[in-house]
Amino acid sequence: MPYITLAKHKLHYELHQGAAAEDTTPLVLLMSLGGSCRGWMPLQVPVFSQTRPVVIFDNRGAGDSEDPGGNFSITDLADDTIGLLDALEIEQADLLGAFMGGMTAQEIALRHPDRVRRMVLSGTYARPDAKRRMLLEDWADLAKAGVPLEKMSRKRLLWTLQDETLEQRDLIDGMLDFFAREGVPVSADTFVRQCRACIEHDTLDRLPEIEHPTLIVCGRHDQLTPTKFHHTLAELIPNARLVTIRFGAHLVMVESAERFNQSVLQFLDEKQQRV
């Protein structure tokens, strides 16, 4: 199991690439709140890695990565990612981030602009509104109160899947059974700190400084990060465009995987040379 060592902790990562992927800009997939990098494996990695190197990794304290302890910010997660790129000798990469991963991608683009070629943001925001802050605080309070994260999975599915998906009882029961059997890849304490980092994230006033070509992907029925957040990103990032996928909510990369993957690849393949 490959690791890279940062100043205070180790990060678990995986590199996937097909035979045709060697000379293409690597794509780094940035994981969301409460997940591990294995979440990208079923639907995104097999497709993307056919034509480019794909790097996935567990955030600090998640999955198989070590936890250095203490509170952390989205900026810290961005710096962790740059440390990974340094260790892998990747000078420049494309980024795809969902929710917390999308926040991390924004900070990387702002703090380390030369390390980014293109960026895809899905189901994320530049600054949370009052409702998102209250929701994340509620999730964090439940975790601190000792409610098992496996039990909270049902509550989170209500915010991340569209109604039509929730009607598929076999699918939902299977997902909940998986969480109950396998557990979640973060501890309650790490989940609380991730929620706090997402609450404190704020790049709104700095978005015009992002010069990279950026694709904003929005699931039309996203309740966790509604379309207003995606429109704000698309309006304030100078070289951004918005794609809204009709069938999909916050987990649009799962509910409409084929359309999502196609949109991402079309965008990344528009210009292969480094900028």
Q: How many structural domains does the chain have?
A: 1
Q: Report the run of H or E that residue 269 belongs to, with start and end.
A: none
- Compute the mean pLDDT over every residue in the chain, rounded to the nearest whole number: 94
Domain membership of residue 122 (yes or no) is yes
Q: Tens digits of per-residue pLDDT, 123-165?
A: 999 999 999 999 999 999 999 999 988 888 888 999 999 999 9
What is the rounded CA–CA span in Å between residue 219 and residue 216?
10
Retrieve residue 68's tokens. Answer: 């250095």
Domain membership of residue 274 (yes or no) is no
Average pLDDT estimate for 39-59: 96
Question: Does the pLDDT of residue 223 top 60, yes or no?
Answer: yes
Q: How confident is the model at residue 177 (pLDDT cuts 50, 70, 90)?
A: confident
Nearest residue to 184 (alpha-carbon basis) of 72, 52, 33? 33
Domain membership of residue 167 (yes or no) is yes
Which residue range forms the structural domain that includes residue 232?
A: 3-268
Q: What is the CATH number of the domain that holds 188?
A: 3.40.50.1820
Q: Tens digits of per-residue pLDDT, 257-273?
A: 999 999 999 999 996 44
Task: Please tell me the predicted confidence (pLDDT) of residue 90.
Answer: 97
Domain membership of residue 137 (yes or no) is yes
Domain membership of residue 54 (yes or no) is yes
Highest mean pLDDT pick, 14-23, 91-100, 166-175: 91-100
Domain membership of residue 224 (yes or no) is yes
Q: How confident is the model at residue 275 (pLDDT cuts 50, 70, 90)?
A: very low
DSSP-derived 3-state class of residue 268: helix
Q: What is the pTM of this model?
A: 0.95
Domain membership of residue 250 (yes or no) is yes
> Buried (b) or exposed (e) across 91-120, using 16+ Cβ within 10 A?
eebbbbbbbbbbbbbbbbbbeeeebbbbbb
Question: Does the pLDDT of residue 180 top 80, yes or no?
Answer: no
Q: Tens digits of per-residue pLDDT, 60-73?
A: 999 999 999 999 99
Q: How confident is the model at residue 20 (pLDDT cuts 50, 70, 90)?
A: low
Average pLDDT estimate for 185-212: 97
- Number of C-beta neighbours around residue 180 at 10 A: 13
Domain membership of residue 273 (yes or no) is no
Q: Report the run of H or E that residue 201 belongs to, with start and end.
A: none
The phi-psi region of residue 125 (left if phi > 0; otherwise alpha if psi is between -120 and 50; otherwise beta) is beta
| Owner of token pair 């683009």 | 109
Question: Does the pLDDT of residue 235 top 80, yes or no?
Answer: yes
What is the rounded CA–CA span in Å between residue 44 and residue 26?
14
Q: How confident is the model at residue 22 (pLDDT cuts 50, 70, 90)?
A: low
